[in-house]
Amino acid sequence: MFGFLKRKQKKQPETAAPLEIPVESSAASSIDSPVDSAAEQSIETSIETPAATENKATDNTADLSRSLEKTKRTFSDGMTDFLLGKKSIDSNLIDELETRLLSADVGINATTAIIEKLQNDISRKVISDADSLHIKLADIMKTILLPCEQTLNTDSAKPFVILVVGINGAGKTTSIGKLANHFKQQGKSVMLAAGDTFRAAAVEQLQEWGKRNDVPVVSQGTGADPASVIFDAVQSASSKNIDIIIADTAGRLHTQDNLMDELAKIKRVLSKLDATAPHETLIVMDAGFGQNALHQVQQFHNSIGLTGLAVTKLDGTAKGGILFSIAKTLKLPVRFIGIGEGINDFRPFSASEFVDALLE
Ligand SMILES: Nc1nc2c(ncn2[C@@H]2O[C@H](COP(=O)(O)OP(=O)(O)OP(=O)(O)O)[C@@H](O)[C@H]2O)c(=O)[nH]1
Ligand SMILES: [Mg+2]
């Protein structure tokens, strides 16, 4: 977007990566436990200089920008031609920008907020040309997204239980694989629960991610009661002193009352083990579904109560504007974004990094 106006955004320094600590071998599970070998990992300490940290932040934004290439194209299709050569900012230009934001899935609330702020800055002469418009636009977009930037803190309970929900194919199981890797890199021990007992290959798919991450997977196979699988897994994680348990569930639509009741049952059963569990009810949302996905998430929220969102497939042709709609309407924390199918194609959500990558 606005490639011709390209202006280096100030990179936000990233905090140094935490030390890697091997997962305890006591986490072995009789069900499917590759954790023993993790105990053989050596402790890696990495001390980062401020310069190294700054470089890493720059690389991260560049990486993210590359991953968002298609989203950027969809988001800003024709924007360059539209603004190219504009010497002054007039009302036609602002009208056109408004239309483009709306068609990029930014949604009416966020678009109105952006346009009103820009118009205000234009009348105060803070914005006088396309260059200052670009800078202000970036600032406004970051301000809108910032409330959604809330890191998932998993230290409040042990095991910290993350229940992953969402519609079919949104990227739940893949995100669980990425999350397991993310937490392991933070030195946490992780266990997975195969709560999708509906789809034939779902358990195997999760076990595959378990192997890749070297973490145990608790399962009972297809057709089992998901609440019972997840209950057993949390008990097992407690007895093995596991830090984080991530439970997969089958994809469902908010209109399938029986399946929504099943999620409510899982939550009820978990609260018998720990009144505060699940500690995170994370919905995985495919950004490609745009405003429809937003509606679905709202319905899940009304029905079972969500505490966080992971937005996937932002590497595809999704219109990245959906994040602004989320910020303005759902006001749920966006914990992570998915930018590919690989284990590392995933970022904790940063408003600043996201807008910089989108506008770069
Ligand atoms: N490009 C891209 N593909 C993704 C991303 N996340 C998941 N996928 C792909 O989306 C497809 C569905 O992912 P799953 O993780 O199986 O989705 P799910 O929500 O568990 O699906 P069900 O269990 O069938 O409801 C797979 O092909 C994944 O590789 C992402 O961030 N980017
Ligand atoms: Mg799945």
Task: State the chain's mean pLDDT as an integer.
Answer: 81
Ligand nearest to the CA of 70: 1
pLDDT tens-digit map of 253-262: 989 999 999 9
Alpha carbons 300 and 298: distance in angstroms, whole number: 6
CA–centroid distance, residue 183 to ligand 2 (Å): 19
Name residue, tokens 């439970």.
Answer: 247
Across 48-62, 76-90, 182-196, 244-258, least confident range: 48-62
Percent of the chain with pLDDT over 90: 54
Structural contact between residues 39 and 18, judged by C-beta atoms closer than 8 angstroms: no
CA–centroid distance, residue 15 to ligand 1 (Å): 29
Instruction: Give the H/E segment covering residue 310.
Output: strand 308-312
Alpha carbons 195 and 224: distance in angstroms, whole number: 9
Is the omega angle on the peptide bond into residue 50 within 30 degrees of 0, that is, cis?
no
Alpha carbons 241 and 74: distance in angstroms, whole number: 46
Ligand nearest to the CA of 312: 1
Alpha carbons 54 and 60: distance in angstroms, whole number: 10
pLDDT tens-digit map of 217-261: 999 978 999 999 999 999 999 999 999 999 999 999 989 999 999
CA–centroid distance, residue 233 to ligand 2 (Å): 17
- Bridge partner list, 308: 282
Alpha carbons 278 and 276: distance in angstroms, whole number: 6
Ligand nearest to the CA of 171: 1
CA–centroid distance, residue 169 to ligand 2 (Å): 7
The pocket around ligand 1, CB under 6 angstroms, is made up of: 166, 168-174, 196, 199, 202, 251, 284, 312-313, 315-316, 338-341, 345
Mutation pick for ligand 1 pocket among 63, 66, 68, 174 (CB with most ligand atoms within 8 Å) = 174
Alpha carbons 35 and 358: distance in angstroms, whole number: 39
Alpha carbons 119 and 221: distance in angstroms, whole number: 58
CA–centroid distance, residue 5 to ligand 2 (Å): 41
